[in-house]
Chains A and B, each alone.
Chain A
Amino acid sequence: MVYHPRENWSPARRKRVYTRRDFLQRAALLGIAVPALPSLLAACAERDAEEGVELAIGTPANPVQQPLFEDNPAIESGLSDEEGPLQLYNWADYINQDVVIAAQDALGVEIEITTFFNEEEAIQKISSGEVQFDVWFPTSQVVPKSVSGRLLQPLNLDYIPNLEQYVWPSLANPYYDQGSRYTVPYVLYSTGIAWRVDQVDSADIEGHANAWDVFWNDKYAGIAGLYDSYTDAIAMALFRNGLGDPSQASEAEVAAAADSLIELTELMNVRYTIDGAYVQIPEGRMGLHQAWSGDIINSQYYFPEDGDPSVMRYAWPARIEGTSVNAAISSDTMAIPVGAQRPVLAHKFLNFMLDEESALLNFEWVGYQPPQKGIDTDLLIQDEWVPEYLAAAVVREEDFELDTAWVQGQLDIATETLWSDQWNRVKAGG
């Protein structure tokens, strides 16, 4: 259930009182009266307040501040800690257990983690108001809708000095949330291509102005995969077809990109997976897959005992010399949901995670790199945090500035719907 900003929604109003007549009328429709019904029925109230929601969607060239709402204030400075346990809401395997233990010691509370399978599910659960988490890990692509949909509470940066101290300036004040009103950055990733050198000729990727074209190279039919994620797959096809900024693609261009993907079903026998890059390539089930850089740094640990991780390669087409195509780069965030029961602890947890030591410890296991000033990306390779042959998977601050980089943010609703429609066409098998 989603609460509309115009409704002037507040936690107190969520328990909206229905008149007996309202209730009976609605209960009669169902023929029964169930205790949980009033909350389900609250959705009815929104029907009339539908049109014209402006989301604050920024781009690096056009940074935005997320709106603040009077009825959704940040917590005061200098409050004392609440009782634990602190509730985290995260993707599976997206935080190092050792960091969680260190955070427990530092904050003096238990920390419990609940995981979600995909972001749609997370948004659904948080907006239902049925569960109250203290910290959530949204991607930067859902920050605008999460703010306007009143899922997040503003941050009081007094509690988070580490943001200024340790985090890359560009992300301590990011384009999607100027002034870090609602979020602090978590980890970074580029979206590129991963392959095994024993199955794929590296020259077909690194020696090409259009590296994405390798997914249409039928030499590799049967061993190629793409992410089962419509934003990633369609953006990739748009890049391959020569578009620089997928979010600005016209309807015809998106349809053409979908056609290009449909072609892959027969031409390449392409498969859409989520674990293709970091599990199936190491296991030899895939030779070539679209890949998030963090997955690839992680993939070394997924090789079977007799496997050789050094066959793994990664390239981010935006940084390939002489490239004519763009590629995506983005970051995830940490935020505090509106219904958090322990906001003070949550702020302190965010601060803890932004500390250089915890950030590095987290990277060690998660494989996704934190945007830390103190972490010299060249040192990551020198000190063997990342093996030499996967050096391309390291993300640098200047990567976000490249002309060939598309900093992936939220798509506006119309574009999202257009891409969804086309994606369903792709997944239906053409």
Chain B
Amino acid sequence: MPTNLQAGESDAVGQRRWVWPGLALPGVVWLLLLFVVPFYAIFAVAMGRTDPIFNRPVPEWNPVYWDVSSFSRVIGDLFGGQLGTIAVRTVIYVAVASFLCLLLGYPVAYFVSRRSGRWRGLWLLAILTPFWINYLMRMMAWINLLSPGAQVDRAFFLFGLDPPSWLAGQHYVVILGLVYGYIPFLILPLFGALDRIDERTLEAAQDLGASPARTFWRVTLPLSKQGILAGLVIIMLPMFGDYYTPNLLSGSPRNVMMGNTIDQFINQTTSQGGTGAALTIVLMLFVAVLMAYYLVTIGRAAKEARE
């Protein structure tokens, strides 16, 4: 965009040149204080030492004394070690949970945005109200529902079925917890995207002889792609760092996610705080790659739209 301005620079533009950066200044300061500094702090902890009395990480602020052993430990363990198993498990959990969110969330978003008529507001409200309640409280409610002999089990008994021990370290229970916890954050951007689709494009497709299914595949779905991506990014980022869902709904080592490991390094076995910090950064980089893919796709789509 700046290209146009550079071509015909006038005095007025010259004066205005500082206005927008000036307005951005508070945001930049904010970002520096609340992102760059904390990020450096995590880095300093990862590169730091362990205190000889409390056996706890001491940040090393001076790059001259940086010690990369935490990073090499994390990288080594990620490829072939236990961290690798946990990383794969985390990716699978997040992938399956996100896919299920999309599978369940897309029809809901579609229905509410295009088919719910005058009840639309009410539908949206119905989707959102449960999420006024704190995430932890909702997970605890699930614990009650899934406890032995509780409501879910009774529903199974009704059909003469023998319910499994839901809370005894089941992969699918943790995944369902993730789905339940994050799905509204996928529905909302999706709702926005579907809502913005111009009705006339769909009519045009049908006028040109496309069946409803074909219209959906060729018009609606591609036009909602940005909403899907935005929704997926919004739910996947926090899922990768999630640790309380497996903690509450399982507690078994076989459901441990990346977030649990970081939590443990930093809060429990503090002598490994540096490793925890290094792992945090590695996870951040991984998530940043996903984020970058999203940004590139969005950028490309925006460019196509302009052309």
Contacts and interface: CB of A to CB of B under 8 A. Distances in A.
B272 A32 contact: no
B254 A429 contact: yes
Contacts of B215: none
A94 B86 CA distance: 35
B32 A32 contact: yes
B251 A269 contact: no
A373 interface: no
A283 B146 CA distance: 12
Contact of A44 (B53, B61, B143): B61
Interface in A74-91: none
A429 B40 contact: no
B85 A230 contact: no
A55 B85 contact: no
A396 interface: no
Contact of A149 (B54, B61, B251, B261): B54
Interface in A10-59: 26, 29-32, 34, 40-41, 43-44, 46-47, 50-51, 53, 55
Given A43-B58, A127-B54, A428-B256, A121 B271 contact: no
A271 B54 contact: no
B253 A272 contact: yes
Contacts of B268: 118, 120, 228-230, 420, 423
Nearest to B253: A429
Given A230-B269, A428-B256, A271 B59 contact: no
A420 B61 contact: no
A294 interface: no
A2 B267 contact: no
A127 B53 CA distance: 12
Nearest to A51: B52
B69 interface: no
B148 A420 contact: no
A310 B18 CA distance: 75
Interface stretch (B94-102, B164-172, B185-193, B226-234): B164-172
A424 B264 contact: yes
Interface in A398-425: 413, 416-417, 419-421, 423-425
Given A118-B267, A285-B148, A413 B52 contact: yes
Q: Which of B51, B53, B167 has the most chain A CB atoms inside 10 A of its CB?
A: B53
Interface string B168-196: 11000000000000000000000000000
Nearest to A149: B53
Interface in B30-63: 32-33, 36-37, 40-41, 49, 51-56, 58-63
B280 interface: no
A4 B58 CA distance: 12
A52 to B, nearest CB: 8
Interface in A255-301: 262, 265-266, 269-273, 276, 283-285
B254 A284 contact: no
B52 A429 contact: no
Interface string B49-92: 10111111011111101000000000000000011011000000
A294 B38 CA distance: 40
A29 B63 contact: yes
B269 A50 contact: no
B252 A269 contact: yes
B269 A424 contact: yes
B37 A34 contact: yes
B273 to A, nearest CB: 9
B271 A271 contact: no
Given A40-B41, A51-B52, A417-B55, A120 B267 contact: yes
Contacts of B49: 47, 50
B53 A53 contact: yes
Interface in A140-170: 145, 148-149
Contacts of A222: 165, 168
Contacts of A43: 58-61
Interface residues of B, number: 48
Contacts of B167: 285
B61 to A, nearest CB: 6
A427 B250 CA distance: 13
B149 interface: yes
A67 interface: no
Contact of B86 (A272, A285, A428): A428
Contacts of A225: 251
A272 B255 CA distance: 11
A322 interface: no
A26 B62 contact: yes
A427 B52 contact: no
Nearest to A120: B270
B62 A44 contact: yes
B50 to A, nearest CB: 8
Contacts of B252: 265, 269-272
A413 B58 CA distance: 15
Nearest to B270: A120
Contact of A271 (B52, B53, B169, B261): B169
Nearest to A412: B55
Interface of B: 32-33, 36-37, 40-41, 49, 51-56, 58-63, 65, 82-83, 85-86, 143, 147-149, 165, 167-169, 250-254, 256, 260-261, 264-265, 267-272
Across chains A and B, which 3 residue pairs bring their CB atoms closest together, nearest first? A420-B269, A271-B251, A428-B82
Given A1-B58, A121-B267, A426-B253, 14 more contacts: A2-B54, A26-B61, A34-B33, A120-B267, A120-B270, A127-B54, A145-B55, A148-B53, A273-B251, A416-B55, A424-B264, A424-B272, A428-B253, A429-B253
15 contacts: A4-B53, A29-B63, A30-B40, A40-B41, A43-B60, A44-B62, A120-B270, A265-B252, A265-B253, A265-B254, A272-B252, A420-B270, A427-B264, A428-B86, A429-B253
